[in-house]
Every structure is written in C-alpha cells, then in structure tokens.
Structure 1
Amino acid sequence: MMVAVKEERSMEEGLLKLKNQNDPSDCRITACVFLSTFVAICGSFSFGVSVGYTSGAEVGMIKDMGLSMAEFSAFGSFSTLGATFGALFSGKMAIMLGRKGTMWVSDILCITGWLCIAFAKDVLWLNIGRFSSGIGLGLISYVVPVYIAEITPKHVRGTFTFSNQLLQNCGLAMVYFCGNFINWRMMALLGSLPCFIQGIGLFFVPESPRWLAKVGTDKELENSLLRLRGRAADISTEASEIQVMTKMLESDSKSSFSDLLQRKYRHTLVVGIGLMLIQQFSGSTAVVYYANTIFRKADEHANMVTKGPITFAVKLTQLSKYCL
C-alpha cells in the first residue's frame, strides 16, 4: 500500500515538473534574447537621433551651408517623406527578406543618409541624405517592434517591446544634449554609429522563429528557438503553437483590402485612422523638430538639459503663453 502511494506521488511530481517546463510563463530569458533585443533597438536609437537632429543642427547648418529657413524646413521634411515610403513597403519587405534582412536594408539606407549629411557640400546632398535615412527609419519603425515581439517569451513580451520606444526617446534626449556642444556634421556621424552596431550585431543573432515557420523548414525553426530559449529547453510546445498560428494567418491572408470598407468595419476603421491622424496633426513632431527655434523665439536659452526640472517647467509655461 505504501509503495503504491509513493509511486503515485512520484508520478504526480513528474507530471507537474513536465508541465512547468512546458509552461511559457516559466520560460527562461536567455542571454541571446537580451543580445537580440539590444541589436534590434540600436535602430530605434538611431530613429530618435534623426527625429531630434534638426533641432540641434539648425543654427550650425544654416550658418555653414548658407541655407534659408525654407531650405532648412524642407530638409527636415524629407525625413518624414522618406519614412512614408519606407513604411509603405516595410510589411512586404519583412515578409520577403525576413526581419533581419529588412533591418540590414534599413541600416544601409540610414548609414548612407547620415554620411551624405555629414559630408554634404550643398543642399542637394543634404536632402538626399535626409530622404535616404527617412526610408530606413520607416522600415525600422515597423520591423524592430515586430522582431522583438517574435523572439521574446510571452510573459516578458510587453516589457521587451517597450524598449523600442524607450531607446527612441534616449536617442532624442542624447541629440538634444550633444547638440549644445557638438558640430552638426559630427552629430550626423554619431547618428550612423547605432546603425553600424546593428548591422554587425545582426550576424550574431537568430532570425525570427515566426518568419522561419512561414518560409523556412522545421529544423531552422527549432534551431532558432533553441538559441533563444536555451539548448536544454523544451521548445516543442512553442514550436507547435507558432506553426499553428502561422497556418491560421496564411488562411486569413486571402482577404483583400476592399474587405476593410465593409459596413461592419466602418466604426473601427474610423476610430483607428482617426486616432492616428489626431496624433500626427497635434503638432508634436513639429515641436520636437524645431524645439531649439521655439525656445529661442520665446527669448529663452535653448539648453534645457542642464537646468533641472523646475526651470524646465517654467520654460514650458512660457512656451505655452508664446504659442497662444
């Protein structure tokens, strides 16, 4: 009787142990996940640098290149124009070339753009460089959060994906700070550095398992998951879930764009697009692009970083009065 009870208890403990090993919430976060996320968000850092670049470079660029305000404004706008084109093709490119391949393309475009700006002799090369880097940023804005979400375990997916936005703001803060004492050409070279790091780092990180499930073999999918979860991890459950989800998405991909225009989707479509338009038309991007000019015209010193939170709050109050 005692032997039977011990055997039953041993079986229950074994089943519980197996269940915990296959539970996604208990999946170990490996060094490979941290490395892959770091490599991906290097592009996010470059994104933030590009957004804040015009604010820090305005005075020096206008003086050195002899630009009018209209020419400098056009220079800033070419980034948004390029990002529009990049975003339009980002989804298709991420499917055709993979997540890593798309990031490589964005790195090439961004590096080319930053170097054109850094060594520009006239306004034409400035605009070409800004447009090229803008296309790369449009690709980055899509593929980086997708890649991070696809390589991280479920229970930390939100935390790791948040790092994309965090590094964008870090890049923005850095260029605001460095713009006080670094030449605009040097800042352009600084903006290309994260792209170089990402381009090299991509050789050492695995491809997205979900993309491999769509275009690769089961062996490639398993190798990618083993690198991300650890060689001793049981990846069978996660691999099966990815394959099932991929097949479901492929079956739903037969829907056309015109299906969005059906009456039952009208309310959701208006709310979704409306929120995006309101966000863009709020003018936040213009404030970020030309913060230096705004504070200077408000008869304030442009250096916001070294003054402390109280002085910064006073500046914002005075800025609101100026805008009104």
Structure 2
Amino acid sequence: MVKESIEEGQLSSPLIVADKPCENGCSGDGHEEMGGSSATSVLVLSTLIAVCGSYVFGTAVGYSSPAESGIMDELGLSLAEYSLFGSILTIGAMLGAIVSGRIADLIGRRGAMGFSEVFCIMGWLAVVFSKDAWWLDFGRLSIGCGMGLLSYVVPVYIAEITPKNLRGGFTTVHQLMICCGSSITFLLGTLVNWRILALIGTIPCLIQIVGLPFIPESPRWLARSGRWQDCEDALQRLRGEGAIISQEAAEIKDYSETLQRLSEATILDLFQWTYARSLIVGVGLMVLQQFGGVNAIVFYASAIFVSAGFSGRVGSIAMVAVQIPMTTLGTILMDKSGRRPLLLASAAGTCLGCFFVGISFLLQGLQGWKELGPIFALLGVLKVC
C-alpha cells in the first residue's frame, strides 16, 4: 500500500491535444503532445463531489467547540464525559484510517467514499437524537471512522483523476475544504443549537452520496482491477471527448501490469536504512501535526475563550475570519514558496499560539495582569488556527 501510493505520485504527465502547429508543420488537430491538460467540467465536478468528504472532515473537527455548552447543559454531562465525547473522534479516525487503504482497493475509490459517508450519517443522526452520553460517544466514534476513511480516499482519488500539471492545485482543495468545514461549523454554532448543527452536518454527506454515481471511478483503480475498457472510458470522460488518451492509457496499463508482477510490500519493508531519512521526516511531520496542540485547542476553542474571560461567540467568529483566508494563502503559496518554508512558519506559529494560550491562563492568577488574559487567549487561538 505504501509503495503504491509513492509510485502513483511519480507517474508521468498525461497528454493533451495540441492547440498549435507541431514542428513538422501539421495543424495540431488530434496530434498528441506531451504537456499539461486543461481542467474539464467532468474533472472539476468529480473533484467537487470528492471534496464534500473533506468538508465532512472539517465539520466533524469543528463541531465539539461550539456544541460544548449546549450539550453539557442539556444532557448534564460532566467535563470528563464531554472530553471523552470530543476525543473519541480521533480514536474512530484511527480505526478508519487503518482499514482505509484495503477498503479503497477492494471496492474502489467511489465505493469507499460512499461507504464512509454511511458511517458519518449514522454518527450525526446518533448525535441528533441522543439522550445520554453513550449515544453521543457512539455517534462521535462512528463519525470518526468515516472521517478516517475520507482522509485517505479523497486525496488519493483526486490525485488519480487529475493530470500531473493540475495535481498539486487540485489536491490542495482537500485541505482548503477541511478548513472551510470547520470554520463554517464554528460560525453556524453561534447561531443554532447543537442538535440542528449536527443535522446540518449530514448535508455534505448526502450531497456526496447523491453525486457519486455521476462521476467516473478512478482510471488507475480500474486498470489495477483488470477493467481496461472501463479505465479508458473513465479517462476519456475526465480528459474530454476530443482529447487523445492513448499514450496516457498505455502508461497506466503498463504501470498496473508492472505493479501486479511485483511482490506486495509490507510494513516491515519501510524499516530499512535506505528509507530511514524519509521515514523519520514523514513520521516526524505527522507527529508534529498531531501532538502540536492544534486539535486540543480547536476542539475546545469556545471553552478556552470563556475560561480566559473572552466572549466565545466573538472568538469563534474571529477564528472564521482568520482561518479561511490563511488556509487559502497557504494553498496559493504551496507551489510558489515551497513546502519547507511553509512548514517552518506554521510550526513556529503553532508553538507561539500554544504559548500565548498558556500565558493567558497564567495571567488570570496575577493581579494587575488579569486584563491581558483574554487578549493572549484570542491571539493564541488565532495563531494556532
């Protein structure tokens, strides 16, 4: 699974129909030429349907903060019980992520997205109709399982259907929609109660389920499954009716046949000295992301604002006003400034944000400095987000 993901990201670029005369003087109509492909309507629609799953991911992450006070007051949950509700999402996501690759390879990318949305809808409905902590936890766990599946299959599907020259831009839409989902959930949470907010969370799930039959399956998955004609048909739909896909289809076929001849890689194959640096960097970045304190602050941002003496509603609106523009800026700068500078800048911002949040609570016990606590809390949460 690991080797497949790495090799798929290194496939050569697809073909387009040349719009200008070739060097031999031919008109260029129907002439195959290596280069970039344009975004067709089917490609854009397929990406939009896929990133509905990314939006679902974002709504799940952003739900616990605005819903905290309403759930605790109505159901009489203790802080420990609500903390379990908020954190059990990550356990479900871990379970979903473990089996995500196998499910996506077994039933296809579209099938995996539809399968994950069943878990998400079931989870949201369990939250909507919950009467006690057990139903809340079950719903949150179910949403987490679906979220774990979506976190894998959505970017893989987008990467497999897009031509190389568009792949970077299209795959960043996944992260942008996660941000939009969490931010809009924060905003809606200031306007509606927690049950209606959970019911709203089912809308992007339903949109994706309804839209999946209208988009093509991943040509690369079809090729690996031995469905060559379906692979070519899907590729033709994605590239446009007038596009010549013969060479790209041949490359996909050769790659799939080569992959089938290779022995399947195991997790132990990663632990070789050759891959030590890559493994340390890759795992280190994931550890930095998960243990940097971001989830804890985002999950309970409203409670942090209130505890620091700041308005939870105003703080949530400020988060929305900052989070979406900054994520959009990061998407634009991704291919311009490079990954490493952005990683360094975001890691520094996260560290400073966590420091400010800690300072805000420290100042509450200091006479004369207590008024600065809400300011540091706001700056800290905004920097982390």
Same fold, TM-score > 0.5, yes or no: yes
The answer as to whether partners of 1:24 and 1:153 remain within 8 angstroms in 2 is no
Distance 1:15 1:216 in 2: 36
Unaligned runs of 5+ in 1: 1-8, 310-315
Q: Please give the per-residue CA displacement for 1:10-54, whole angstroms capped at 9, x wherever unaligned.
A: 9812285555x44341x2321111110110011111110100100
Q: Secondary structure at the match of 1:243?
A: helix
Comparing both chains, which one has the higher relative contact order based on Cα–Cα distances under 8 Å and sequence gaps of 6 or more?
1
Distance 1:243 1:323 in 2: 59
Give the counterpart of 1:319 among 357, 370, 385: 357
1:181 positional shift? 1.5
The aligned residue for residue 43 of structure 2 is: 33
Amino acid aligned to 1:81: I
Distance 1:137 1:71 in 2: 22
Q: Please give the per-residue CA displacement for 1:221-250, whole angstroms capped at 9, x wherever unaligned.
A: 111011111112101011011112223333
Amino acid aligned to 2:24: E
1:318 positional shift? 6.1
Distance 1:123 1:243, change over 3 A: same
Matched, 1:249 2:241: no
Q: Please give the per-residue CA displacement for 1:108-167, whole angstroms capped at 9, x wherever unaligned.
A: 000000000011111111111111110000000000001011111211111111110000
The aligned residue for residue 188 of structure 2 is: 178
Could you say what the CA RMSD is over the residues aligned between the two structures, in angstroms?
Answer: 2.2
Q: Secondary structure at the match of 1:304?
A: helix
The aligned residue for residue 192 of structure 1 is: 202
Matched, 1:160 2:160: no
Q: Which moved more, 1:116-125 or 1:241-250?
A: 241-250
The answer as to whether partners of 2:30 and 2:243 remain within 8 angstroms in 1 is no
The answer as to whether partners of 1:47 and 1:168 remain within 8 angstroms in 2 is yes
Normalised TM-score (structure 1): 0.89
The aligned residue for residue 179 of structure 2 is: 169
Normalised TM-score (structure 2): 0.76
The answer as to whether partners of 2:305 and 2:315 remain within 8 angstroms in 1 is no
Matched, 1:84 2:94: yes
Larger % of helix: which? 1
Distance 1:211 1:100 in 2: 10
The answer as to whether partners of 2:186 and 2:317 remain within 8 angstroms in 1 is no
The aligned residue for residue 14 of structure 2 is: none
Distance 1:218 1:87 in 2: 29
Amino acid aligned to 1:201: G
Give the counterpart of 2:271 among 257, 261, 278: 261
Instruction: Say how many residue pairs are matched.
Output: 309
Q: Secondary structure at the match of 2:116?
A: helix
The aligned residue for residue 23 of structure 1 is: 34
Distance 1:23 1:282, change over 3 A: same
What does residue range 82-121 of structure 1 map to in structure 2 within 5 Å? 82-121=92-131
The aligned residue for residue 143 of structure 2 is: 133
Give the counterpart of 1:304 among 311, 315, 321: 315
Amino acid aligned to 1:213: A
Give the counterpart of 1:13 among 12, 20, 25: 25
Q: Please give the per-residue CA displacement for 1:45-71, whole angstroms capped at 9, x wherever unaligned.
A: 111010010001000000011100000
Distance 2:317 2:359 in 1: 23
Distance 1:133 1:319 in 2: 29
Q: Secondary structure at the match of 1:120?
A: coil
Give the counterpart of 1:68 among 74, 78, 86: 78
Distance 1:61 1:248, change over 3 A: same
Distance 2:281 2:173 in 1: 27
Distance 1:318 1:218, change over 3 A: closer
The answer as to whether partners of 1:213 and 1:246 remain within 8 angstroms in 2 is yes
Distance 1:10 1:24, change over 3 A: closer
The answer as to whether partners of 1:295 and 1:319 remain within 8 angstroms in 2 is no
1:265 positional shift? 2.5
The aligned residue for residue 312 of structure 1 is: none
Q: Which of these two proteins has the greater Rg computed from alpha carbons?
A: 1
Distance 1:131 1:209 in 2: 32
Amino acid aligned to 2:310: E
Distance 1:271 1:29, change over 3 A: closer
Unaligned runs of 5+ in 2: 1-20, 323-352, 363-385
Distance 1:306 1:49, change over 3 A: closer
Distance 1:319 1:277 in 2: 21
The aligned residue for residue 44 of structure 1 is: 54
Give % identity: 45
Q: Secondary structure at the match of 1:71?
A: helix
Q: Secondary structure at the match of 1:75?
A: helix
Distance 1:230 1:119 in 2: 45
Q: Which moved more, 1:72-81 or 1:239-248?
A: 239-248
1:320 positional shift? 5.3
